[in-house]
Each structure stands twice: as structure tokens, then as C-alpha cells.
């Protein structure tokens, strides 16, 4: 089980004193937070990609490259990489470069973003969001696995004998998560390729995400990648902690009320009741998140949003100390208890390299009826199969 932090990189005024960090200060603070993630024993740091105020991370690979040089162990990820408005050729090259720089400690979360105006800024139409996500990822998937690619699609110029450089480290592309908060088509896409599905369940009640994740698990098995319980699932989360729960509530309330994403909406009490946001003692956070697998099954990655809404850097670092010292060790123990042996661990580069070697060894053995059946199941088109995803919309 992997635990970590994701940041959207918002630049928000501290509602308690009216101070607003400069872009430079916010960027440097994010770099400090990432290094703290490794210091306190977490596994993953994920950085958003935004091209509009009030957010600052417009160039994730630049920031993650710096973090790679300052850390030794944590996985560097995104939350998310905009598969719709970025050229898949540039994604292939940028993240293969980062993967080589970081000695494999890189994966990506693909997403469509949540800001409509970004699409025309990059020459795209938001009404084509789902088709863009499907076509662009189909090309990216091939660019990382084929030395020379011929390509013709709807949304970019054709390619003839094109090779992206550098090639993925050890011939193994970065692991990909497909992130979504509402779209079954994206769950379908993740299942089709056997990739991970990251449900950023920080806005809506658990029942919505139970249906979405359940659908992904079902389709993962349908395409022959393993059983539904072996599908690779990640979840978002949020917490704010103090030793005494009421102190946490009192301290966090003004930040919640003015947060750029969910401020001026439901009350803090209503929001914490309906979403995973947990404001209270460390034990309350442990209890809340230990119960996640009762709703979603055993999963592989839990990321927390901790540095948003104008919280001062000092406060964020204190939260990470609590998370690393008290919460995550307890959750690791809880999630390891009665975890089925066939449920995979969170993806790492070393594990992917080993899996490729095992697959190559198995492919040299005589084909079995099971392997033929699996290959047949994987031949369906995600564009066609996505039509059945409508049944899980809500």
C-alpha cells in the first residue's frame, strides 16, 4: 500500500491574516513539501498541472526534475497530466526523460482537467474532451512501446516512422493512472489497458465512487488483466489534524470556508459528513481511512491533499509530521491485516521490470486456452466498450 501527497498548487490568500504568497514563494514551498514527504516516510508526491490562476504548477516536469535530484526514494507522480490539451508526443518525451533522470521513480496520472477555458488556449474543443483523452492516450501508449510509430488520427498531424526520445528506462514505460471524479469512459479506458484507476473522491459521497470503481474492476477483469480484486485502484483524500479534535476544527474552518475549490458552499460539518475530508484528531483520520476498503475493496494508493486553501507552510509541514509519524504507520498495519495474497502492491518501476521479465518467460511457453481467451478479451475497442459505461452514471 502506497501513501502520499498530491497538490493542486493553488495560490490562495491566508484568510486568517490576509497574506498571499508570491508565485515564487508558493513554488519554493511546494518543493519543500515534496522533500518533507520523503523525510516523514511517505511513498508518493504528486503534482498537478494547471495553466490558469490561482494555480502555479504549469510545468510539472520542471518541478519534478528538481525534486528527483533532492530525493532518493519517493515516487514522483502527477495529479493530473492533461492528456487532452498536451501533445502526446511531448508527454512521451518529457516523462521518459524524467523517468530516466529519476532512475524510474516516476508514474503519471492522466486527466482531462477541470477548467474549461484551458482547451481553446491550446487549440482544443472541450466538447471533444472524452474523444481527445481516448485518442491521445492510444498514441502515447504506442509511443512508449514501439520503436517506430506510424499514426493517423483526428486530433493531430500524422506520424510516419516516428520514434520518441529518450526511450523509457529499461524499456518499461512509466505506470499510468487514469484519474476521474465522474466519467465512466475513463474508468473503461483504464480497464482496457490494464492501467490504474485513480478516483479522486474528495467532492462527492462514497456511493458514487463505489459504482465508478466497481465498474472499473468489472471491466478490468473483462479485458483479461486479472480478477476484479486485482485491479489497481488509487483514492484521493483530505485531512487536517490536531491532538484535540475541536482545535483542528477551529483552526481549519476559516481555510475551508474560503477554499477556492469548495469554499462558500456546504458547511464544514456537511462536507466532512459526505466526503472523506476528516478534520479532527489523528485517531479520527486513522479510523476514517481504515474503513475505506470496506467501501472500495483493497487498493494500492492513498493520496492526501494537505497544502491547499492558503494554509501556511509551517502548518502543512506540521500536518505531514503527524501524517508520517502517527497516521500512516497505523494505516499500513491496518491495510496489511487480512489483505489477500493475490492483491497486488502499489506499482513501482522495479515491479514493472520484473513483471515484464516474467511475461517474456511465460510467452516462450506453449500457449494455453486461458492465455488465448485473455488475448481475445483484450481485442475490443475502448471506444465501443465505453458505451456500456453509461449504466454507472449518476
Per-residue pLDDT of 44-89, as tens digits, reads 999 998 888 888 898 999 999 999 999 999 999 999 888 888 999 9
Q: Does residue 384 surpass a pLDDT of 60? A: no
Helix spans in the chain (H):
23-39, 60-70, 88-101, 118-121, 129-143, 184-193, 206-222, 245-258, 268-274, 282-290, 292-296, 313-322, 328-336, 349-363, 369-377, 382-385
**pLDDT tens digit sequence for 86-98:** 999 999 999 999 9
pLDDT at 80: 87
Closest by Cα among 317, 320, 346, 324 to 235: 346
Q: Cell for 344? A: 497486488
| Residue corresponding to grid cell 458547511 | 267
pLDDT at 114: 64
Question: What is the architecture of the domain spanning 2-392?
Answer: Alpha-Beta Barrel (3.20)
CB crowding 364-374: b at 16 or more within 10 Å, else e? eeeeeeeeeee
Mean pLDDT for 146-170 is 96
**Please, what is the angle between helix 88-101 and helix 129-143, to 10°?**
50
pLDDT at 45: 98
**pLDDT tens digit sequence for 198-230:** 998 887 788 889 999 999 999 999 999 999 999
Mean pLDDT for 320-344 is 97
Predicted TM-score (pTM) of the model is 0.91
Domain layout of the chain by residue ranges: 2-392
pLDDT at 372: 31
Q: Name the band, by pLDDT with cuts 50, 70 and 90, for residue 389.
A: very low
Task: Decide if 108 contacts 60 (C-beta within 8 A).
Answer: no
* Separation of alpha carbons 217 and 145, rounded Å: 25
Mean pLDDT for 366-383 is 40
Q: Does residue 327 surpass a pLDDT of 90? A: yes
Q: Cell for 279? A: 478534520
Closest by Cα among 135, 130, 233 to 182: 130
**pLDDT tens digit sequence for 110-125:** 988 666 678 788 788 8
pLDDT at 183: 84
Q: Name the band, by pLDDT with cuts 50, 70 and 90, for residue 365.
A: low
Range in 80-89, 133-142, 232-241 the model is least confident about: 80-89
Q: Name the band, by pLDDT with cuts 50, 70 and 90, for residue 35.
A: very high
- Mean residue pLDDT of the chain comes to 90
Residue 92 exposed, middle or buried by CB count within 10 Å (0-12, 13-18, 19+): buried
Q: Cell for 299? A: 487498493
Q: Does residue 36 surpass a pLDDT of 50? A: yes
Collapsed DSSP state (helix, strand, coil) of residue 315: helix
Percentage of residues of the chain with pLDDT beyond 70: 91
Percentage of residues of the chain with pLDDT beyond 90: 75
Amino acid at each position: 500500500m502506497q501513501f502520499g501527497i498530491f497538490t493542486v498548487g493553488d495560490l490562495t490568500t491566508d484568510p486568517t491574516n490576509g497574506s498571499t504568497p508570491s508565485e515564487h514563494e508558493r513554488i519554493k514551498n511546494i518543493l519543500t513539501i515534496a522533500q518533507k514527504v520523503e523525510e516523514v516516510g511517505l511513498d508518493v508526491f504528486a503534482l498537478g498541472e494547471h495553466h490558469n490562476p490561482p494555480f502555479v504548477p504549469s510545468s510539472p516536469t520542471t518541478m519534478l526534475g528538481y525534486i528527483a535530484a533532492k530525493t532518493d526514494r519517493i515516487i514522483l507522480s502527477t495529479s493530473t497530466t492533461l492528456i487532452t490539451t498536451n501533445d502526446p508526443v511531448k508527454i512521451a518525451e518529457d516523462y521518459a526523460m524524467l523517468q530516466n533522470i529519476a532512475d524510474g521513480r516516476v508514474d503519471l496520472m492522466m486527466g482531462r482537467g477541470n477548467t474549461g477555458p484551458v482547451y481553446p488556449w491550446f487549440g482544443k474543443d472541450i466538447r471533444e474532451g472524452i474523444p481527445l483523452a481516448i485518442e491521445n492516450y492510444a498514441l502515447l501508449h504506442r509511443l512508449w512501446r514501439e520503436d517506430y510509430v506510424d499514426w493517423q488520427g483526428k486530433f493531430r498531424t500524422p506520424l510516419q516512422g516516428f520514434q520518441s526520445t529518450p526511450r523509457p528506462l529499461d524499456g518499461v514505460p512509466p505506470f499510468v493512472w487514469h484519474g476521474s471524479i465522474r466519467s465512466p469512459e475513463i474508468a473503461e479506458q483504464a480497464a482496457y489497458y490494464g492501467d490504474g484507476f485513480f478516483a479522486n473522491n474528495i467532492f462527492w459521497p462514497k456511493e458514487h465512487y463505489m459504482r465508478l470503481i466497481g465498474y472499473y474492476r468489472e471491466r478490468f477483469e473483462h479485458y483479461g488483466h486479472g480478477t476484479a480484486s486485482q485491479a489497481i485502484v488509487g483514492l484521493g483524500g483530505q485531512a487536517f489534524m490536531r491532538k484535540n479534535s475541536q482545535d483542528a476544527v477551529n483552526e481549519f474552518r476559516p481555510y475551508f470556508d474560503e477554499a477556492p475549490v469548495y469554499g462558500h458552499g456546504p458547511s464544514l460539518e456537511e462536507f466532512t459528513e459526505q466526503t472523506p475530508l476528516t478534520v479532527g484528531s489523528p485517531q479520527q483520520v486513522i479510523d476514517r481511512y481504515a474503513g475505506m476498503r470496506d467501501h472500495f475493496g483493497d487498493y494500492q494508493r492513498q493520496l492526501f491533499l494537505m497544502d491547499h486553501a492558503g494554509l501556511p507552510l509551517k502548518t502543512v509541514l506540521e500536518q505531514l509530521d503527524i501524517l508520517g509519524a502517527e497516521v500512516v504507520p497505523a494505516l499500513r498495519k491496518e491495510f496489511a491485516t487480512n489483505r489477500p495474497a493475490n492483491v497486488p502492491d502499489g506499482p513501482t518501476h522495479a515491479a514493472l521490470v520484473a513483471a515484464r521479465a516474467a511475461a517474456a518467460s511465460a510467452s516462450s511457453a506453449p500457449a494455453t486456452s486461458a492465455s488465448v481467451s485473455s488475448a481475445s478479451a483484450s481485442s475490443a475497442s475502448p471506444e465501443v466498450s465505453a458505451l456500456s459505461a453509461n449504466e454507472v452514471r449518476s
